[in-house]
Amino acid sequence: MGSAAAWALAGRGRDVTLLEQFTPGHHKGASHGATRNLSLSYAEPEYVAMLAETLKLWAELEDESGERLLARTGLVNHGPDPRLGDIHAALNSAGLRADFVPLAEAGERWRGIRFDQQVLHMPDGGQLNPEAALPAFQRLAAGNGAAIRHGVRVVGLEILDDGVRLTVDDGGRTEVLTARQAVVTAGGWTSKLLAGSVSTPRLTVTQEQPAHFGITDDGATWPGFNHFPGEGSDYAGFYSPVYGMLTPGEGVKAGWHGVGPVVDPDRRSYLPEPRQRAALQQYARDWLPGVDADAMTDISCTYTTAPDHNFVLDRIGPVVIGAGFAGHGFKFTPVVGRILADLATGEGPAPGIFASSRA
């Protein structure tokens, strides 16, 4: 989100410095890997409007960068999710395609997945590539004059009468920077960085543990998918929606959504919680006939979640906050960058559901 905000601000001719505490391509946060679902599974008007905008902005970013960032595989939601009717109606009202598909047809089209209840197909969805997108945002921002600095950790943030003062650690060398505004998009480190200076909703950081499963059916077609499989007792007490997608060259990614253990982002084990891992493997056996559930490669990432599961997008004094993207934010990256830029320049507020004072 910081890279997208730098892209949006530099494109408006603003003087921008992007600070990232780690090196490019790091695996310590929530934006690594080659695939994220561009899921359209929303009925709330604020998110649906953002979906329409994000599809337009991703296309513009592909044109500007010359990179292919989105694979239009479509996306299916299935299972006993009571919201599917509302999602179907909201998307079609916004001009985004969504249609219910009969079970027999779904099984023929996407035979790597087992379906037993309603299936909603959203052909405008697909998979985004963070490994290509983040360098593209930064390269375009730099082309418009932004300074991109990796390996620079912000260790202190002080609000001044006319802006902010940042104390940073650049490879062991302390430096003090000042700016009229600071846009903070620090993921799991947001609460640590803002403690004592800016109040935010409570942000919970969890370590999530999806996995890639080897493919056994080479002829299967894989859309992105979201599934509500049943009651918690069926999956060792870890019932939650399951999301998944094909990652070319790595297998089919699947994971529970937002049920990982709470962690300190500086003290992660990166090791999967055994019961959740076993439950995910059983899920693959039961619902993904196109994969080998025993050929499992673990992945580790973080979610940062606000109590109501909505994003935090707001400005408090000279500090603009982007946080709480919690496993469903990556698809909105260019829109969030635009909103954060609007907040920083005073060109517009974020939708009210994202205000920091809501919780």
Q: Are residues 115 and 210 in the same domain?
A: yes
- Using the 8-state DSSP alphabet, how is residue 196 labeled? T
If asked whether residues 113 and 61 sit together in one domain, one would say yes
Please tell me whether residues 149 and 180 are part of one structural domain: yes
CB atoms within 10 A of CB 101: 18
159 and 283 both lie in a single domain: no
Per-residue pLDDT of the chain (359 residues; tens, 9 = 90+): 999 999 999 999 999 999 999 999 999 999 899 999 999 999 999 999 999 999 999 999 999 999 999 999 999 999 988 899 999 999 999 999 999 999 999 999 999 999 999 999 999 999 999 999 999 999 999 999 999 999 999 999 999 999 999 999 999 999 999 999 999 999 999 999 999 899 899 999 999 999 999 999 999 999 999 998 876 666 666 667 899 999 999 999 999 999 999 999 999 999 999 999 999 999 999 999 999 999 999 999 999 999 999 999 999 999 999 999 988 999 999 999 999 999 999 999 999 999 988 65
Structure tokens at 213: 């499963």
pLDDT of residue 237: 63
Domain of residue 8, residue span? 2-32+132-203+307-358
Contact 134, 187 (CB under 8 A): no
Same domain for 114 and 52, yes or no, is yes
Beta strands in 10-118 (DSSP E): 17-20, 36-38, 70-71, 75-78, 99-100
- For position 240, what pLDDT does the model report? 79
pTM metric for this prediction: 0.96
Select from 283, 322, 280 the least CA-distant residue to 298.
280
Do 69 and 114 belong together in one domain?
Answer: yes
CATH assignment at residue 159: 3.50.50.60
DSSP letter, residue 237: T
Kindly state whether residues 196 and 220 are assigned to the same domain.
Answer: no
Three-state DSSP class for 242?
A: strand
Range 216-238 burial, b when 16+ CB lie within 10 A, else e: eeeebebbbbbbbbbeeeebbeb
Residues 160 and 226 in one domain: no
**Together in a domain, 284 and 320:** no
Whole-angstrom distance, CA of residue 36 vs CA of residue 127:
5
Half-sphere exposure of 77 (CA within 13 A, CB side): 23
Tokens of 125: 């969805």
In terms of Cα–Cα distance, which of 189, 136, 194, 204 is closest to 164? 194
Give the Å distances, CA to CA, from 29 to 256, 271, 342.
17, 14, 25
pLDDT tens for 242-300 read 999 999 999 999 999 999 999 999 999 999 999 999 999 999 999 999 999 999 999 99
Pairing of strands 173-179, 182-184: unpaired
Q: 321 and 182, same structural domain?
A: yes
CATH number at residue 117: 3.30.9.10
Buried/exposed 24-50: b ≥16 CB within 10 Å, e otherwise: eeeebbbbebebbbbbbbbbeeebbeb
Judge contact between 182 and 190, C-beta under 8 A.
no
Beta bridge partners of 246: 252
Distances (CA, A) of 309 to 55, 133, 241, 354: 22, 24, 14, 10
Residue type at 211 in one-letter notation: A
Overall domain count for the chain: 2
Asked if 188 and 316 sit in the same domain, the reply is: yes
The answer on 209 and 146 residing in a single domain is no
Q: Encode pLDDT of 209-234 as tens digits.
A: 999 999 999 999 999 999 988 766 66
pLDDT given at position 233 = 64
| pLDDT recorded at residue 234 | 64
